[in-house]
Structures are given as C-alpha cells and as structure tokens.
Structure 1
Amino acid sequence: MPGPIDLHAHSSVSDGTESPAELVAAGVAAGLGVLAITDHDSTAGWDQATDAADGTGLELVPGIELSTQLDYASVHILGYLVDPTDPALVEATAAIRSERLHRAESMVERIGRDYALDWDDVLAQATPGATIGRPHIADALVARGHVSDRSAAFQTILHWQGGYYRPHEAPLPVEGVRLITEAGGVAVIAHPGARGPQRVLSDKRMRALVDAGLFGLELDHRDNPPAGRPHWIDLAERFSLVTTGSSDYHGAGKPNRLGENTTSPEVYDAIVARATGSRPFRTG
C-alpha cells in the first residue's frame, strides 16, 4: 500500500479541530496511505470520513478511542474496525459520553467561580453532537483570554492539581479491551508510556488485558518518554503484542502532526486480519 500508515487521529466529533471530512483532506495532503479516525468514545464521524475518502486513494480505518479508568488514572484503548452497532459497545460509549458531559459541566461551574467562563462558552467551541471534554473547556479559556492555548490551559487551570479538576467514571481497562474485542475490533493501548498508564499498568494487569484480547501497544508516540521505551518493548515481546506508531493528531488542538509516527505495513496487515467487526474503506 502506498504512503505512511497513521492509526490515531481525531476529528471535531471528539476533541479535534477539523471535521471528519477535513481530517481526511489533511491526511491526503500529508501524503498518508492509511489513516484511522479514532474519536473519543464515538463512531459518529465514520460516515462523513468515508464519504470524504472516496476517490482520494487514502485508505480509511474506522476506529474509536475508548476511555477507561484505573486507580484514578486514564487509560485509553484504541479500538480498530469494531462493529459500530454492537449493543454493548453502543451502551458503554453512550454512558461514557454522558459522564464526560456531566464532568465537564461540573468543572466549568468550579472554574466559573474564579474566572469569567460559563457553559455557553464551552458549547461555542464544540460542534453539535461532539463528545465534550476538557479540550473544549481549554478552547473556551483561550477564547476568553485566560490562557494562550490548549497546552497552557492543561498546564494551569485544567491541571489535575489545579483545584478545578474532577475525575470521571469510566470502565476498567480490562472491560474496555473486552468490549472492543467482543465487538469484533482490535484493541491497542494508546500511548502506554504517558503518566497515567505508566503508573498503573503492572505486569499482572497487563496479563489480564492480554487475556481479555489486547492485541498491541502504541509504542511510537510523542507522549511515550524515550527512557521508558525498553520497558514497553519488553512487555510487547513477553506478551506477544504488536507495536504501533501514530500521531494522535488533533488538528490545531495539539502540536502533533499527521505522519510524525507511523505503523509498519506488516503490523497494519495483522490488525486488519484480526478484525471481524468492520473493514477498512479502500478506494482508488
């Protein structure tokens, strides 16, 4: 297949700044051969992205990034090629999105006591039907002039030690892997070297995830510190997991650029061969 393979990107259906169609156009402009749309807890962008990919030569991988929680740490599970109509997955993602919404409302109420910010400010930063979360609050803080950009918001007002943070409820990682696998998808832990997963994913817990169907680790990602790389390589080898690379692109929402990290064709083929829930969209 021609072009690099990037298996982690977000549209405005979750916390990206580009519509699904614009995300596809960005993938084409970046010279990608394969792009996965992996919005947080939602498959609502699949149809628009598929329509936009038609005739471009870009191979589109329908996916999702499922929110899970362990010991107050967020562990995100990428799910490739799931069945978007799977009843258990539909129910779980609806519950997660509802919890995200209530969490965001609670945080905005807290912030609003000290800063000029209300819920309408946040809604103005999200497209209708989007999975609203902290990035939209960050954008609202930027629009109000309280911080310079999203990164500054997360380093200050939205930091977990900033006084306004509220943890959210989500399934355990082992439940998330099971949901994805039973929906015919392929489960890969997103950026496992980030602060949260690094802290809670012990060898024993990794074994439970593998037993539940975990297929891989997103190893090449800018949020994985290089010093921790040998640890995750060792885990992948011991548990016979594939390793992927991805950008985690969010448009203007993050500095991550499409194709800055990529997945090998051999690993991508293994993911496609494993999946039974849906197929990549391939067009000439």
Structure 2
Amino acid sequence: MRIDLHAHSTASDGTDTPAELVRRAAGAGLDVVALTDHDTTHGHAEAIAALPEGLTLVTGAELSCRLGGAGVHLLAYLFDPEEPDLLAERELVRDDRVPRAHAMIAKLRELGVPITWERVARIAGDGSVGRPHIASALVDLGVVGSVSDAFTPEWLADGGRAYVEKHDSDPFEAIRLVKAAGGVAVLAHPAAPKRGETLPESALADLAAAGLDGIEVDHMDHDPATRARLRGLAGELGLLATGSSDYHGSHKTCVLGEFTTDPEVYGEIIRRATGAFPVPGAGGRRIT
C-alpha cells in the first residue's frame, strides 16, 4: 500500500488542478493521497468529484504558523472543514496573503525587478497567492533560474531583501484548533534548513506535549542522517513518523510517491481522526 500524505494543487501553490492531482496520484501507483493546500480546503470538492477508483483521498490542509523566528508548517488531516474557530483562523491567514504579495512586489520593483501584480495574479489563478507564485514570476522574468533559486536571502527567503512578514498562526493554538475540529496534526518538514530557521528539538517536545500527533520524517528536504535522527526523536516523544512527497507539480522537482507513509501509521491517523473520513474513489462518479 503506497500512501503520500502531503500534496498541493492550484487551490494554493501547486500547478495541477485538484482533479489533475488525483489522476496523477492514481497514475503514480498510489493507493492514498492527501490534498493539503496551504490554509485552504477549497480544492477538496473538485478532487473528490474526480477521484479515480482504487485511490483514497485524505482531506487536509497545511497551516502556516510561526514560533519565534522559525516558520512552522502544520499538516492537519481529516478535520471538520466547517468548524468555525479553525475556519476563521485559516481565513485570517489566507486573507493576509494578498496585501503581503503586493508589499513584496513593491520591494522587488524597488530592487529593479519589472514584476507586476497582474503577472503574479495570473500565475496564481484561483489559488491562494503566495511566495511560490512570486518566485515563478521571477523565473518567467529571467531574474532567477528556478523557483528554489528565488528562496534565497537575495530575494524571497525569510529575512531576504524582498521578504515581507504575514500573519501566521501560533503552532500551539493551531494544534488546539485542529484537535478541537476532530483532526490530526503532523509537523511538516521540521528540519529543512534551506527553508529558514528550524525549530529546536526542545520546541518539538513542547509541541508533542501540546497534542502534536506526528512528524513528517521522510521528506525530500531531509537527508538520510536527518531522517534517522527525526525517526528516533519521534519514537522518544511518542509521535507518529510520516513520509510524503510535498508535491507541487512543476514548481518542485519532487514526484508523487517519492516518499510514503507506513500503512500502520496511516491506520493510526484514521483511528485518531473524528472530524472527517478518508474518501474512497468512485471512478470520478458523484458520491452520494
């Protein structure tokens, strides 16, 4: 059984529509895929409507948080998407993305980059605009060679020349909200230094004590030594160890199913969730 618990669509900063994503997941030989767009569940209905037979969809979201100077991404699985407190927090984070993008574009123009809001908005489409869309615009303009090249101190990395802070949730509060909505909370790529400052292990212990369910251990941004260390830490803290691709389509080099989650861990996630259930595929037929 092949299970990938972290993937993005055009509902946030991926390049595949939700329907394309689930079809690609089935084509990649996955049995289970999680749709975890940034701070939104807007892609779920389309993904469910297109879900092929033989593929199960785990509904979720990747919540943007910050603790001190470290950006923290929290994967929330199988929560009730209509639970009002968690919904309000997601909307607060998402609504701050547009003024932040405008401010980053203004900084880039001051640096001599001929970028416009119209170009970035066209790239984002119906998705929730974010730094990857601005990075794609920089690629299109020939300023950088790839999206990852834009996430450096010279441009869009945390604290970089064109960086602008946005509203992020407190991870302890986010965990509380996810659990109250019947969901399961897993810390995404916690030891990926190229993404900026990472959390100290003492903070991971504090998050575990606050109700964190797991750590995303197997991820493209964790080298083998880091994965081994995180797996041991998860065991010490009583946390689940997951694996996933963090697929974004053509925005990243990772492929669906590049890293996967153990079926027993997946089963435990399902057992803990009370807000929603995984959705089995019906060959793209409407589920009633």
What's the TM-score, normalizing by structure 2? 0.92
The separation in 2 between residues aligned to 1:225 and 1:169, in whole angstroms, is 30
Residues 183, 275 of structure 2: 8 Å contact kept: yes
The corresponding residue for 1:112 is 109
The C-alpha deviation readout for 1:91-150, integer Å capped at 9, x for no partner, is 00000011222221111111012110111110010122x211100001111222222221
The corresponding residue for 1:26 is 24
- The match for 1:257 among 255, 258, 263 is 255
The corresponding residue for 1:200 is 199
Q: Which runs of 5+ in 2 are unaligned?
A: 283-288
Larger CA deviation: 229-238 vs 70-79: 229-238
- The match for 1:103 among 100, 104, 121 is 100
The separation in 2 between residues aligned to 1:283 and 1:104, in whole angstroms, is 36
Cα distance, 1:169–1:92 mapped onto 2, change above 3 Å? same
Aligned: 1:69 with 2:66: yes
The corresponding residue for 2:143 is 146
Residues 194, 225 of structure 1: 8 Å contact kept: no
Residues 191, 199 of structure 2: 8 Å contact kept: no
Aligned: 1:271 with 2:247: no
- The match for 1:6 among 4, 7, 13 is 4
Instruction: Give the SS at the match of 2:58.
Output: strand
Q: CA deviation at 1:13?
A: 0.5
Query: Could you say what the CA RMSD is over the residues aligned between the two structures, in angstroms?
Result: 1.6
The separation in 2 between residues aligned to 1:282 and 1:69, in whole angstroms, is 34
Aligned: 1:245 with 2:243: yes
What's the TM-score, normalizing by structure 1? 0.93
Residues 157, 196 of structure 2: 8 Å contact kept: no
Residues 172, 207 of structure 2: 8 Å contact kept: yes
Cα distance, 1:66–1:214 mapped onto 2, change above 3 Å? same
Q: CA deviation at 1:198?
A: 6.8
Larger CA deviation: 17-26 vs 150-159: 150-159
The corresponding residue for 1:93 is 90
Instruction: Give the SS at the match of 2:266.
Output: helix
The corresponding residue for 2:134 is 137
The separation in 1 between residues aligned to 2:35 and 2:185, in whole angstroms, is 14
The corresponding residue for 2:122 is 124
The separation in 2 between residues aligned to 1:21 and 1:4, in whole angstroms, is 19
Cα distance, 1:101–1:125 mapped onto 2, change above 3 Å? same
The C-alpha deviation readout for 1:49-103, integer Å capped at 9, x for no partner, is 00110x4211110011001001121110000101000101110000001122222
Residues 92, 167 of structure 2: 8 Å contact kept: no
Aligned: 1:186 with 2:184: yes
The corresponding residue for 2:53 is 56
Instruction: Give the SS at the match of 2:241.
Output: strand
Aligned: 1:166 with 2:164: yes
Instruction: Give the SS at the match of 2:254.
Output: coil
Aligned: 1:211 with 2:209: yes
Q: Which runs of 5+ in 1 are unaligned?
A: none
The corresponding residue for 2:285 is none
Cα distance, 1:119–1:259 mapped onto 2, change above 3 Å? same
Q: CA deviation at 1:168?
A: 2.2
- Give the fraction of aligned pairs with identical amino acids, expressed as a percent: 45
Residues 81, 279 of structure 1: 8 Å contact kept: yes
Residues 75, 197 of structure 1: 8 Å contact kept: no
Residues 190, 198 of structure 2: 8 Å contact kept: no
The separation in 2 between residues aligned to 1:198 and 1:224, in whole angstroms, is 14
